[in-house]
Amino acid sequence: PGVRFVSLQYGDCRQEVEAMRAEGVPLVHWQDPVDDLDDCAALLCELDLVVSVTTTVIHLAGALARPVWVLVPARPGWRYLLEGERLPWYPSARLWRQAEIHDWDPVIARVAKAIALFRS
């Protein structure tokens, strides 16, 4: 409650956006800022928090020193290290690690609880 989601999904994501809205998620999506890196940077600077899987968006948010939470898969790429909650190159980033491949439910549950605290 009280959270407004802004989609940072690039490419044709109309179906995903509409599916979320159909589930009652208050989701905003502007395709133009997502497709242009400068506009995307400006949008990231206006958000309270960026939550994303391991994409370019988290690197841009980290480089801009924006608060960013990264959902890291059980088998991460080298950029996300093998353990820990922080990245040395992006001090504003917090990592949320998946314990088992394909099992995102516990990660999402922890992030949801933390968002409630973040808002307080």
Dihedral sign for Cα 42, 5, 85, 59, please: negative
Phi, psi of 28 (to 5 degrees): -110, 140
Q: Is residue 18 very low, low, confident or very high in pLDDT (cuts 50, 70, 90)?
A: very high
pLDDT digits (tens, 9 = 90+) for 76-117: 999 999 999 999 999 999 999 999 999 999 999 999 999 988
| Whether the predicted pLDDT of 34 surpasses 90 | no
Residues pairing with 71 in the sheet: 53, 96
pLDDT for res 46: 96
- Residue 76, token pair as written in the block: 């991460």
At 36-70, the pLDDT tens digits run: 899 999 999 999 999 999 999 999 999 999 999 99
